[in-house]
Structure 1
Amino acid sequence: MVAGTLTRADLAEALHREVGLSRTESSAIVEQILSHMCDALASGQNVKISGFGSFLLRDKGERIGRNPKTGVEVPIAPRRVLTFRASQMMRDRIVETG
């Protein structure tokens, strides 16, 4: 496999090749899956894909940061961040191919 970025179009093309759906149907399915995942995350749910990993929402509290250039302390507002944690199966696959 060539190093690079896997895109929506690549996923749709793989679905077209391996399942035999039309390119339009394949693209629509990829968009529906991604849209469903985004909606779930936006509503505060975590997304777990067995054998792949989990997309987790974390609330980070307010804290004091420092401007590295000037050294001035500034407050960093509380925020929600999205993190990904790969499953053990995915980690094992990455180690095998790496």
Structure 2
Amino acid sequence: MTKTDLISMVAQKADLTKKDSEKAVTAVIDTITEALVNGDKVQLVGFGTFEVKVRGERMGINPRTKEKMKISASKLPSFKAGKALKDSVAK
């Protein structure tokens, strides 16, 4: 499903115009993104939790040269599905 498909489904289920549903979907995505950038956790009960995970600095091996190299620390967005979502998908 693409963002366009999602907008169409939201418009149909919420009885909105595609233009209004596009604004709503974009606003939700932007709000979640801003919260993650600010270091906040976004928890949607029954759906899941979005948060930023920090990966520490570590040593790795360059597969081409077999040389050891340092991999810098990084921040990654992550999503953990809630129980209701897991149960729905499992059916």
Same fold (TM > 0.5):
yes
Letter in 1 for 2:6: L
C-alpha deviation, 1:70, in angstroms = 2.5
2:50 paired with 1:62: no
- Could you tell me which residue of structure 2 aligns to residue 21 of structure 1? 16
TM-score (norm 2): 0.89
C-alpha deviation, 1:48, in angstroms = 1.3
Distance 1:49 1:77 in 2: 31
2:28 paired with 1:33: yes
| SS of residue paired to 1:56 | strand
Letter in 1 for 2:21: S
C-alpha deviation, 1:84, in angstroms = 1.2
C-alpha deviation, 1:30, in angstroms = 0.7
- Point out 4+ residue stretches in structure 1 off by more than 6 angstroms: none
- Could you tell me which residue of structure 2 aligns to residue 83 of structure 1? 78
- Could you tell me which residue of structure 2 aligns to residue 3 of structure 1? none
Runs of 5+ unmatched residues, structure 2: none
| SS of residue paired to 1:71 | coil
Distance 1:26 1:88 in 2: 27
Number of aligned positions between the proteins: 91
Distance 2:42 2:15 in 1: 27
Distance 2:82 2:13 in 1: 24
TM-score (norm 1): 0.83
C-alpha deviation, 1:62, in angstroms = 0.8
C-alpha deviation, 1:72, in angstroms = 0.8
